[in-house]
Structure 1
Amino acid sequence: MAEEERSGTTPVLVLSKFKQILESFTIDNPELTLQQITRSTGLPASTCQRLVHNLVREGFLDRYDDTYRVGLGLVRWAAPGTFGLDLVRLTRPVLQQLRDETGETACLYVRDGAYRTVISLAESRHPVVRLFVVGMVMPLHAGSAGKVFLAWDKLAVKDAIGHGLARFTPRTVVDIDLLSEQLGQIREAGYAVSFEERDLGAASLSAPVFGLNGEVSAAIGIGAPTQRFTAADVPRLAPIVVEAGRRASERLGYRPGVERVAAL
């Protein structure tokens, strides 16, 4: 097998091992020793050492004393692949698939202070819909997408409380203790659901979208009239929305295990 690798007859296998080594590095652990890389990949020590040395020689890894990190050469080569790509373009296929799988309008939100804004959507084909438009601005504490930001972004919590928790309907949560309890449940469940918290007759379900650094970059979710979306639909729809959040996060370069969560 080693002879085959040296002769180039198994390039896919070698590339797979290179991939294993490069994936050992994370935002939280950007520098690793050879022993740590070997342990992370599960490769034989001699094989790992040889491949690491090859990666250093070609600029994929840089060496600093006894540690290694992703090479600046690799970062430079990757730049053209990300140039011109933005959050909307990267997540549009996920948003459209979410609409098709649920039948409801799918939206992508970003946060600005105590508010969230719709930056992209895929409209439902139902004749009766909950109206969303790109550029629509809504508060964080009233609605599932806003609570996603509150659950995973401590700065969002600070901004929302500092701005004040206004009541929009009888179901709007304005008590900080109750909101804190809900946010803990949302983090545990991996999604947020809302019924008539901002508008009567409206419901929504959202999940976080994480970026490369592990912080919540956006919220993705669906919105529908309560005549079509009730609490009984949550067990069916929640896994679909959570999976959409996972796929969108993956397209942004996120790797599991580095989430940043809020503390209220």
Structure 2
Amino acid sequence: MRNSDDFSPAVIDRAAVLLEEFRDGGELTLSQLSNRTGLPRSSTHRLLSQLVELGWVERHGQTYTLGRSLFEWGALARRRSGLQEIAHPFLHELYATTGLVVHLGVLEGNDVRILDKVGYGPIPLPTRIGGLQPAGRTALGKALLAFCDNGSARRRPTVEVLTSAAEEARRRNEMAVVRQRRTAYERDEAVLGVACVAAPIGDLRSCAGAIAVTGPVETVDGALLATPVRATANAIWQALADNGSVRRAG
């Protein structure tokens, strides 16, 4: 159990000084951090160890970088602005209509960053706002891979290592079907016993993100859910356009 002195104002101030040195996103050594901040080397090492334990800083050999936890906190801080703020009421409506958990996400590298999550269900889901999920194994990620980056996903391989030419062909065909239907499906891929239906917010020219409904496989009827999921995604896209958050190609 931590001593309350570990988080005294003085300690927090010194930790903030250390974290500021990572603002440029680079890697720094213990000596560099001590020299730049003017903190004693022993104090710097102790603070870094605490920040590593919290996940705010990561250690790579002799260097340190910002930790993933801080990026997740950043996603949380953005919840009340932009896409999430506009989409949130629509997500609640979709949850009320379907009774299934609704996710909002954007593509971030090889993963999906969850920006919002509405509702709950009988099966615990390993998702949280600000967290990451592998794009290639989720309906949300498949919708994003098919439509994100102005359609560049059509030319990129999937985020997972392709084991054969046949697997690559299958994945490419899956992306083509998603683009044609404007709907992505997933069943027992990310979590056993769970299925999802997703749709992009936008189109191949401009995609703001994607939404998905998730629930037990026995309650997720893709044929019935595709229409309300697409309609909700389209409504969010229209709201973004009306708000001036996106520019619709004419």
Judge same fold: TM > 0.5, yes or no. yes
Q: Does 1:191 align with 2:187?
A: no
Quote the Cα distance in structure 2 between the aligned partners of 1:244 and 1:116.
19
Moved more, 235-244 or 196-205: 196-205
Q: Distance in 2 between matches of 1:176 and 1:156?
A: 13
Matched, 1:176 2:171: no
Matched, 1:201 2:196: no
Q: Which residue of 2 aligns with 1:151?
A: 146
Runs of 4+ with >3 A deviation: 126-131, 154-161, 163-167, 254-259
Partner of 1:135: 130
Distance in 1 (CA, whole Å) between partners of 2:124 and 2:227 is 22
Say which of 205, 210, 217 aligns to 2:202: 210
| Structure 1 length-normalised TM | 0.55
Unpaired stretches in structure 2, ≥5 consecutive residues: 1-79
- Measured against aligned partners, the alpha-carbon deviations of 1:25-84 in whole angstroms (never above 9, x if no partner) come to xxxxxxxxxxxxxxxxxxxxxxxxxxxxxxxxxxxxxxxxxxxxxxxxxxxxxxxxxxx8
Query: Number of residues paired by the alignment?
Result: 164
Aligned match of 2:223 in 232, 235, 238?
A: 235
Contact 2:104 / 2:209 at 8 angstroms: preserved in 1? yes
Aligned letter for 1:215?
A: S
**What is the distance in 1 between the residues matched to 2:247 and 2:97?**
24
- Written as runs of structure 1 = structure 2, the 5 A alignment for 1:1-264 is 85-124=81-120, 126-153=121-148, 154-156=151-153, 161=158, 163-165=159-161, 175-210=167-202, 214-229=205-220, 233-253=221-241, 258=249
For residue 192 of structure 1, what is the amino acid of its counterpart?
A
Contact 1:144 1:205 in 2 (8 A): yes
What is the CA–CA distance in structure 2 between the aligned matches of 1:134 and 1:121, rounded to whole Å?
6
TM-score (normalizing by structure 2): 0.58
Q: Percent identity?
A: 20
Q: Distance in 2 between matches of 1:114 and 1:122?
A: 23
Q: CA deviation at 1:159?
A: 6.0
> What RMSD over aligned residues (CA atoms) do the two structures have, in Å?
2.9
Task: Decide which structure has the larger Cα Rg and report it.
Answer: 1
Distance 1:221 1:86, change over 3 A: same
Structure 1 residues 174-194: Cα deviation after superposition (integer angstroms, max 9, x where no partner): 921101111111111111011
